A and B are shown apart, each in its own frame.
Chain A
Amino acid sequence: MRFMTAAAIGLLAATTFLTPASAQTPRDTVVMAKAIDDIISLDPAEAFEFSGVEAVANVYDKLINVDPKDPNKLVPELAESWSVGADGKTYTFKIRGGVKFHSGNPLTAHDAAYSLQRAVTINKSPGFILTQFGLNKDNAVQRIRATDDGTLVIEVEKPFAPTFFYYCLTAAVASVVDSKTVKANEKDGDWGNAWLKQNSAGSGAYALRTWRANEQYTLEANPNWIKGAPKNRRVIMRHVPEPASQRLQLEKGDIDFARNLSKDQIAAVRNDANVAIDTGRKGYILYLGLNQKNPTLAKPEVREALKWLVDYEGLEKNLLAGTYLQHQSFLPQGFPGAIEDKPYKLDVAKAKELLAKAGLPNGFNVTMDVRTTAPISDIAQALQATWAQAGIKLELLPGDGRQTLTKYRARNHDIFIGSWGPDYFDPHTNAQTFGMNEDNGDNAASKTLAWRNAWDIPAMTKTISDAVLERDPAKRSATYEAAQREHQKVSPFVIMFQQIEVAARRKNVNGFALGIMSDMNSFANITKN
């Protein structure tokens, strides 16, 4: 019995020891809960995941940026003016004077040149955004140079559309780093990559104070930021993988933002008097990829029939409720050149007619690789039911995210359901991946989504690759609009939805700006009352 008594006393002691955990976060600190295990690096030349890019965008400044109020307009950031020479290949940027890095070092054109040379030379995942202009580790020093402290000159390979180049410079990979600090932390010629993965050397709204992988990162406001001191002192991003836990913390007031709530949880917290919802249209597109190596899926009538076999409206209303919008073209709404055409709706009779024309009046059997997360798996199940009405027996092959992706990238799928996010804010990014396939061979150098689905399209490939050289913005836009309409008709992509990012917040916290790209999400204006 002594044992029992001891245990009882122990428990009693434990409970008296506990005091109600203080709800409320410090007033000058913004606390967010988000699944941030996708971050593998916070080096702007390497970060390419949603959470990493978002952090980088709040730590570094770029030469130019997209106007948050009108994404089709460019605004100055570190460059006060910019121009392109008559040859269409030489760009000159006048760098703003008097800007200081977090370290106190003055920011000059030499830092800007170093940053771009660095990104091109170490050429990590997002490096191609810059190298596609013919810049590489051998010519970087010669083609990217500072002629004096206030002037940066960049020579690109071809007379590209200037907007194409400018928009690519708004990507996180083109962030300007403090060259003195980075050089001081260089190891074995790595351009400071190992150090910059976990530290920061920028001039942006915040400095990175700590990052612990799969735990949290903390940003400290920069009172000398060129756009004015941020309205809060600190942002803490905590890794909370389980959305239900995020919800409890938000309701309790232990966090200010819950970033990964599911649609059911969003619906539930809407009734909480202390919680409000922020939304922002994101560039993510949810689509089906039909592998053209499968002879049935290669028939044009079958491709079209499947586009008539999606209950776009029902799915949006019932399954996706506020987290996705109907969308049927490869450029997301809000992108330059995007179109709003939605030619398809659920029409089983029409689909059956098309299948009969293809010689498949009784349907066919096919598989779909599905990652087992909401809402992907729910949509796949709904499609299974709808397709059965036209006699198509859809077998769902569930798998983990990386697993289905590995299969997709090896072109071993029938149908893949997944999402795609644009790499940078220019129409070429999605046009290229959805509509270009330079070499349909298994060992192709460029493996776009069109390649992954073995869609061999020399004509469309040429149209789209020519569009980056079109210097007249109106004509260039028209090319993308026409390409999307053609693509809607013939492509093996059933484009269905565009993502809406939802952030649930405490009512007393305002000012979080959600942009169409992850690197347009800004913390600087968040205030707390």
Chain B
Amino acid sequence: MTFARTTKLFGREIAAVAVTFLGLLLVTFFIGRVVPIDPVLAAVGDRAPAEVYERVKVELGLHLPLYEQFWLYLKKIAQGDLGRSVLTSNTVLADIGRVFPATLELATLGTIIGVSIGVPAGVLAAIHRGTWIDQVVRVVGLFGFSVPVFWLGLMGLLVFYRILGVVGGPGRLGVAFEDIVDPITGVILLDAALRGEWEVFRNAFSHLILPACVLGYFSLAYVSRMTRSFMLEQLRQEYVTTARVKGLPERRVVWRHALGNAMVPLITVIALSYANLLEGSVLTETVFAWPGLGRYITNSLLNADMNAVLGGTLVVGAVFIGLNLLADILYRLVDPRAR
């Protein structure tokens, strides 16, 4: 690959990302302005007198025509200023700096749980196709996919928190553990470990594990179904027969050769499911009083707090693009042809 070609490819990539972001902002901005919710209401409340209302409307720039509002917003973004949230009165950047790590922590553990159980379960279902194992995996998967997360979360709390008392309740930390660890990354587990506060780490983990399992269950349901179908396809291939004929142990054929090849499409599936969790799960976050990205964006949207909504959308967009790139890189590592 020549240098010129590389820069050209790279340039095209950047242009594509920029256009994606611009489109994302444009659509979100106009949807936000079209919804029949008055953004000034969020700032001043229902009981503010008319003069205060009018003044704040001007302060927020809402008296300007839409295209001008959008242009001003873009100019600010170019300077790295995402504006201030009306609801929390923090800068959107500061807000996202708080809510995104909370979601990141939850989504990452959720995905780890989902993948580490979902992939083996899918493989087992594929090898034992049509047997009771396959049926069990299917039922568990379908249940995870169809039961409302809200209900699952509350039931989980009832059983594991209220009755058995093996996990922590709603919130990221117990009351006595709040404000002990100064944030470094915002991911409490990481911060506590970095500061050597192992009691805080334990407490944070006990609060995290249940919501992570609820999310993990969803991811598991999806990942196991996809793994099963990818595996079935691979197991029909001739190279599998060849490997078997060569006398390779069945375990090696399935887990090394077939799964190795199934891994290529599976990476996309896992990346997408991870990205979905990173958007934040509003219902899970509500039940578990988890101050994450999903609730932040939803709450902001319901109050027409556009700076916050747009900022959150940018983050979600960046997550999707970033994970797509990551999946591309992983492809190359896993797929021998791309090496």
Interface string of B281-312 (1 = CB under 8 A from A): 00000111101000110010011100000000
For residue B88, CB closer than 8 A to chain A, the reply is yes
Measured between beta carbons, the chain A residues less than 8 angstroms from B45 are: 40, 48-49, 125
Is the CB–CB distance between A4 and B120 below 8 Å?
yes
Kindly state whether residue A274 has any CB partner on chain B within 8 Å: no
Q: Taking the nearest CB of chain B, how far is it from the CB of A285, in angstroms? A: 13
Given known pairs A1-B251, A2-B255, A213-B89, the reply for A239 and B289 (CB within 8 Å) is yes
Nearest-neighbor residue (CB-CB) of A443 within chain B = B50
Given contacts A26-B176, A406-B37, A423-B47, contact A15 B289 (CB under 8 A): no
The answer to whether B174 and A125 have CB atoms under 8 Å apart is no
A248–B166 touching, CB < 8 Å: no
Among the listed B171, B209, B295, which residue makes an inter-chain contact with A14, where contact means beta carbons less than 8 Å apart? B209
| Cβ–Cβ contact A7 & B209, under 8 A | no
Contact yes or no, B286 A242, CB < 8 A: yes
- Bound CA span A403–B289, Å: 24
Q: A197-B89, A400-B302 are in contact. Are A22 and B46 (CB under 8 A)?
A: no
Contacts of A15 in B (CB 8 A): 166
Specify which of B38, B46, B157, B179 is in contact with A245 (CB 8 Å cutoff): B157
Chain A residues with CB under 8 A of B88:
40, 213-214
Whether B168 lies near A40 (C-beta < 8 A) is: no
Binds A, one of B1-9, B21-29, B198-206, B320-328: B198-206
**Cβ of B202 to closest chain A Cβ, rounded Å:** 7
**Contact at B174–A21, with CB atoms within 8 Å?**
yes
Q: Report chain A residues within 8 Å CB of B35.
A: 403
A94-131: CB near B (< 8 Å → 1, else 0) gives: 00000000000000000000000000000111111000
Task: Tell me whether A23 is interfacial, beta carbon within 8 Å.
Answer: yes
CA distance A210 to B36 in the complex (A): 35
What does the 1/0 interface line of A445-470 toward B look like (CB < 8 Å)? 11100000000000000000000000
| B63 CB–A CB distance under 8 Å | no
Please give, as numbers and ranges, the residues of chain A lying within 8 Å of B157 by CB-CB distance: 245, 248
Contact of B38 with A214 in the complex, beta carbons under 8 Å: no
B165: CB under 8 A from chain A? yes
Q: Does B18 sit within 8 A of A, measured CB to CB?
A: no
Contact of B116 among A6, A22, A123, A251 (CB under 8 A): A6
Residue of chain B at shortest CB distance from A47: B45
Q: In the complex, what distance in Å separates the CA atom of A193 from the CA atom of B42? A: 18
Task: Determine the chain A residues whose CB is within 8 A of the CB of B86 once the complex forms.
Answer: 40
Q: Which of B91-136 contact A (CB under 8 A)?
A: 95, 98, 116-117, 119-120, 124
- Mostly, the B contact residues are helix
Query: Counting chain A CB atoms within 10 Å of each CB, which of B36, B46, B86, B168 scores highest?
Result: B46
Q: In the bound complex, how far is the Cα of B44 from the Cα of A474, in angstroms?
A: 35
Residues A245 and B154 in contact, CB atoms below 8 Å apart: yes
B175 touches A21 (CB 8 A): no
A249 CA / B170 CA spacing, docked (Å): 8
Q: Is the CB of A40 within 8 A of B175?
A: no
The interface bits of chain B over 133-173 (1 if a CB of A lies within 8 angstroms of the residue's CB, else 0) are: 00000000000000000000010011001100111111100
Cα A6 to Cα B85 with chains together (Å): 44
Of B52, B178, B255, the contact of A124 (CB 8 Å cutoff): B52
Find chain B residues with CB under 8 A from A40 CB.
42-43, 45, 86-89
Is A19 within 8 A of B202, CB to CB? Answer: yes
For B174, the chain A residues whose CB sits under 8 A away are 21-22, 254
Contact B161 A21 (CB under 8 A): yes
Interface residues of A in 248-275 (CB under 8 A from B): 248-249, 251-252, 254-255
Say whether, besides A214-B88, A245-B170, A445 and B51 are in contact (CB < 8 Å).
yes
A188 → B minimal CB distance (Å): 13
Residues on the A chain within 8 Å of B302, using CB: 400-402
What CA separation (Å) do A441 and B55 show in the bound complex? 20
> CA A245 – CA B203 in complex, angstroms?
18
Known A26-B176, A214-B88, A254-B175; judge A20-B289 contact (CB<8 A).
no
Measured CA separation A48–B47 after assembly (Å)? 8
Q: Is A37 an interface residue (CB 8 A)?
A: yes
Q: Which residue in B50, B168, B287, B304 is a CB contact (below 8 Å) of A21?
A: B168
Cβ of B89 to closest chain A Cβ, rounded Å = 5
- A45 to B: closest C-beta gap in Å: 12
Residues of B within 8 A of A3 (CB): 116, 119-120, 255
CB of A446 within 8 A of CB of B89, answer no
**Which residues does chain A contribute within 8 Å of B179, judged by CB atoms?**
210, 218
Any B CB within 8 A of the CB of A29: yes
Chain A proximity of B189: nearest CB distance (Å): 12
Q: Separation in Å of the A75 CB from the closest CB of chain B?
A: 26
Q: Give Cα A127–Cα B47 distance, bound, in whole angstroms.
A: 11
Minimal beta-carbon separation of B216 from chain A (angstroms): 11
Chain B residues with CB below 8 A from A26, complex form: 175-176
What CA separation (Å) do A189 and B255 show in the bound complex?
A: 68
Question: Which of A125, A248, A402 contacts B48, CB < 8 Å?
Answer: A125
Residue of A nearest to B207 (CB): A21
Q: Which residue of B lies closest to A52 (CB)?
A: B45
Within 8 A of A (CB), among B56-82: none
| CB closest chain-B residue, reference A3 | B120
Is the pair B299, A37 in contact by a Cβ cutoff of 8 Å?
Answer: yes
16 further A-B contacts with Cβ under 8 Å, apart from A7-B117, A215-B291, are A1-B251, A3-B120, A3-B255, A19-B206, A21-B207, A124-B44, A214-B299, A240-B289, A241-B295, A242-B286, A245-B169, A245-B289, A248-B158, A249-B169, A252-B169, A403-B36
Of the A-B pairs whose beta carbons lie under 8 Å apart in the complex, a sample of 25, sorted by A's number, is A21-B165, A21-B168, A21-B203, A26-B176, A40-B86, A124-B44, A124-B48, A125-B44, A125-B45, A127-B52, A213-B89, A214-B296, A214-B299, A215-B291, A218-B178, A238-B289, A241-B286, A242-B286, A245-B157, A245-B169, A252-B162, A254-B174, A402-B41, A403-B36, A409-B38
Give A residues with C-beta under 8 Å from B: 1-4, 6-7, 10, 14-15, 17-23, 25-26, 29, 31, 33, 37, 40-41, 48-49, 123-128, 194, 197-198, 210, 212-216, 218, 236, 238-242, 244-245, 248-249, 251-252, 254-255, 400-403, 405-407, 409, 421, 423, 444-447
- B-side residues, CB < 8 A to A, are 35-38, 41-52, 55, 85-90, 95, 98, 116-117, 119-120, 124, 154, 157-158, 161-162, 165-171, 174-176, 178-179, 202-203, 205-207, 209, 251, 255, 286-289, 291, 295-296, 299, 302-304
5 nearest CB pairs, A to B: A213-B88, A125-B48, A406-B38, A7-B116, A21-B168
